[in-house]
Amino acid sequence: MSAVDYQVDGKTYEGWLVKPEGKTNAPVVVIAHAWGGLTDNEKQKAAIVAKEFGYAAFAIDVYGKGKRGETVEQCQALMNPLVGDRAELQKRLAGGLAAAKAQDGVDGSKAAAIGFCFGGLCVLDMARANQDVLGVASFHGLFRPAENIPQPKIKAKVLIEHGWLDPMATPEDFLAISKEFAGADWQAHVHGHSYHSFTTVGANNAEMGTMYNADADRRSFAYLKTFLAELFG
């Protein structure tokens, strides 16, 4: 595993690559980060993808090298401009995807993307923008539509792993995305008892509604394995 610098539009971004042992030409899973930027959480998910599922994992960075948030204010300051400018976000996502596919020992023809919280919105945008991925899986992602793609015609397979009690993606938001994605091959795996951040080990902020949930974490990743196997078949 190693940090990997890459360029998009002349700016430097820092990703994180983990390859499965003893495999060459492995399919690659892009990992899109939560609002704090690429941190240990995304690295933990990359390790699962490589070690337990046997695919290459490339955690991308849509903020820029060295730009990471810790406080709520810092994270919002990094995330909000991109949530509000989806064309710019999608450009950075495309750059990250291209970097993932360009890594040595990776089969760039077989790519998927998974993302967490803000990263869920990111991978749903990769699907909305028809970036070259076989499928995307959002974990406790934000559903807010992309203002630059009002009627997406989605080709990628879509999996939405969703906590039903997530205050940032309500049942009303769920109904809305079910309509937006009606033309896509979409599935949702809904976890009744779960809040936002259910896969984020250590999340424990009842006031914000961000809570790790071991059951939903385990169950969502079990189904992710099935989903990726279908994509990469």
Residues contributing to the site for a second copy (CB under 8 A): 158, 164, 171, 175, 178, 181-182, 184-193, 215, 219, 222-223, 226, 230
Closest Cα partner for 185 from 224, 231, 229, 146?
A: 231
103: its two tokens: 């890594």
Exposed/middle/buried for residue 192 (C-beta within 10 Å: 0-12, 13-18, 19+):
exposed
Q: How far apart are CA 131 and CA 175, in angstroms?
A: 24
Least distance from a second copy to the Cβ atom of residue 133, Å: 18
Least distance from a second copy to the Cβ atom of residue 152, Å: 14
Least distance from a second copy to the Cβ atom of residue 161, Å: 10
Q: Given the complex with a second copy, which of 12 and 226 has the nearer CB atom?
A: 226
Least distance from a second copy to the Cβ atom of residue 114, Å: 17
Side chain identity at 178, as an amino acid letter? S
136: helix, coil or strand?
Answer: strand
73: its two tokens: 């204010």
Q: Given the complex with a second copy, which of 77 and 229 has the nearer CB atom?
A: 229
Q: How far apart are CA 179 and CA 161, in angstroms?
A: 17
